[in-house]
Amino acid sequence: MSKHRLLLSGGLVLVKNETFERVSILVTDGIITALLADGDGPEDAKRIDVSDRLIIPGLVNGHTHSHGALGRGGVAGDMTLEPFLAGSAWLNASRSTHDLRLAAELSAAELIRKGCTSCFDLFIELPGPTVEGIHAVAEAYQGAGLRAVVAPMIADKTIYQALPGLLEQFDQPLRDIVAALSMPDWQDIIAVCNEAFATWPVPDGRVRPGIGPTIPLHCSDAFLTSCADVAAQHEIPLQTHLAETRLQQVIAHQKYGTSLTAHLDHLQVLSPKFSGAHGVWLSQSEADLLAAHDACICHNPLSNLRLGSGIAPVRMLMNSGVTLGVGTDASNTSDGQSMFEAMRLAATLSRAQASDSEEWISTRDAFAMSTTGSARIMGLKNVGMIAESWAADMLFLDAGYCHYTPLRTPLDQIVFAENGAGLREVMIAGEYVFANDRVLTLDEQSLAKRAADAATRLDETNTQTRLMNAAASAVVQSFCRATCALPYPN
Ligand SMILES: [Zn+2]
């Protein structure tokens, strides 16, 4: 079979995430096979002049939720995570397999548009995952050409069962209504996941399975252990929301008598396949546990700000040896899927935490977290860097754009200034997926119309649930306000 060879010639390339060099990139069947002195290259390769571009590896999103793409604007008002979860359940209700696929396509279109070439998607299907639903999301990413880990986000407890003392705060008749809510048995959830992974519908390369026990408090111990077994058996990544809010740690100490991470360690859930999203309220001893198991944390600075969860102790985690990635979180908790924005916040927020500049997250650190760090969380090898034998996932920035005029320190200028406005082309596995301001793998006009129609239909179907959720959310908010302030040992 003849090889598909491309020669990207004359660009200013970030080589090995270290230095910018004027080199040509030879791409063979989706892999970077050589970096050549400008002007060199085989005759039979298709030559593309990229001399007016800065070329960097595609950004890797270590934590998102595709269902959020259809949930934008769905929860009004200012609230922290727990009342948000209680108030937003209706947004994910009554969704068909088509709706799950549509949400993943919408999310993929935005990710690609904003310079992301791989994502870890914890998507939710209610009341529980189905093989068809998991496969529909995988097929959506395959069609979009995006690299993805598709992890059903699963729980065997409702928030009303997960937080001790919460139910007692409700008056009748709402108390009976929320008390009657339930999740599927965990054995059934695990059986669906096992079947979906064993019958994976797309070639097991660009889109792979993962498993996402949503929040440890929302999962029974037996279920968490079983999720870790599934991850080990299928050799897939496992991700959970870890210490996203202070409330989660307060409740963990009440419920387990230990921190969240110590509890997961006790259940033998920590491993190199494990990543915790957020990690805002992690202590030094928890960081040490994570590092000892070679486990990872995905930093989601924007949603942590939006929901008032706090600022994650990224420097402490990094110094402890924890591998770090960066994510956007969902489009209804951070209002978009911009990895450039998340990466910039990873660098700049650290400066609000310490006056000593040696404690800050450098642009180099933030870039590494947003590429090879998140790729490690996804279990991807040779993704996130422009180097020989690495995946040809690349972003092409307009070197004449205002962010780069004049150009002195390209990496600083990209991390601190780029917001996607200077992005001209996106390539994944050697194929352009974005060019001339169009996503080439999806029909964005049709997507927009289908999304509007789906939102109208779902909002009408879920009206009663929305009203119930809003009333429940107010009770959850007052419970959290009181409980969140309680002391817990570090
Ligand atoms: Zn999340």
Q: Which helix (H) or strand (E) holds 248?
A: helix 246-256
Higher pLDDT, residue 78 or 224: 224
CA of 333 to the centre of ligand 1 (A): 8
pLDDT-based confidence at residue 144 (cuts at 50, 70, 90): very high
Smallest CA-to-CA distance from 196 within 243, 141, 131, 137 is with: 131
Arithmetic mean of pLDDT over the chain: 96
What pLDDT, on a 0 to 100 scale, did the predictor assign at position 40?
83
Give the orientation angle of helix 186-198 with respect to helix 221-234, to 10 degrees. 10
Distance 46 CA to ligand 1 centre (A): 41
CA angle 166–167–173, rounded 5-degree value: 140
At residue 424, what are phi and psi to the nearest 5 degrees?
A: -110, -40
> What is the pLDDT, as a whole number, of residue 77?
81
Question: How much is the pLDDT for 333?
Answer: 85
Phi, psi angles (nearest 5°) of residue 224: -60, -45
Domains of the chain: 5-57+386-439 (2.30.40.10), 59-378 (3.20.20.140)
| Distance (Å) from CA 414 to ligand 1 centroid | 26
Q: How confident is the model at residue 76 (pLDDT cuts 50, 70, 90)?
A: confident
- Tell me the pLDDT band of 283, cut-offs 50, 70 and 90: very high
pLDDT digit string, tens, across residues 349-398: 999 999 999 999 999 999 999 999 999 999 999 999 999 999 999 999 99
Alpha carbon distance 162, 255 (integer Å): 10
258 alpha-carbon distance from chain centroid: 27
Q: What percent of the chain is predicted at pLDDT more than 90?
A: 94
Check pLDDT > 60 for residue 1. no
Region of poorest pLDDT, from 165-169, 334-338, 470-474:
334-338
Lowest mean pLDDT among 95-109, 325-339, 440-454: 325-339
Q: Where are the beta strands (DSSP E) in 173-256?
A: 207-209, 212-213, 238-242
Under the banding of pLDDT at 50, 70 and 90, the label for residue 340 is very high
Gap from CA of 331 to ligand 1 centroid (Å): 10
Compute, in angstroms, the gap from residue 65 CA to the centroid of ligand 1: 6
Which pLDDT tens digit goes with each residue over 237-250? 999 999 999 999 99
pLDDT of residue 485: 87
Nearest-CA neighbor of 154 among 106, 209, 201?
209
Of the listed ranges 198-207, 216-225, 413-422, 436-445, the least confidently predicted one is: 198-207
Higher pLDDT, 333 or 51: 51
Q: Is residue 2 predicted with pLDDT exceeding 70?
A: no
5 CA → ligand 1 middle, Å: 39
64 CA to centre of ligand 1 in angstroms:
6
Position 4 confidence tier, pLDDT thresholds 50, 70, 90: confident
Looking up tokens 């917001």 gives: 419
Beta carbons of 397 and 114 less than 8 angstroms apart: no
- Written as six digits, the tokens of 346 are 């990873």
pLDDT beyond 70 at 308: yes
Task: Extract the runs of DSSP E, i.e. beta strands, from 170-301.
Answer: 207-209, 212-213, 238-242, 274-278, 296-299
Once rounded to an integer, what is the mean pLDDT over residues 134-160?
98
pLDDT-derived band at 334 (thresholds 50, 70, 90) equals confident
Q: How far is the CA of 407 from the centre of ligand 1 (A)?
A: 36
CA of 180 to the centre of ligand 1 (A): 26
Residue 66 has pLDDT above 90, yes or no: yes
Q: What is the CA(404)–ligand 1 centre distance, in A? A: 33
List, for residues 171-218, the tens digit of each pLDDT value: 999 999 999 999 999 999 999 999 999 999 998 689 999 999 999 999
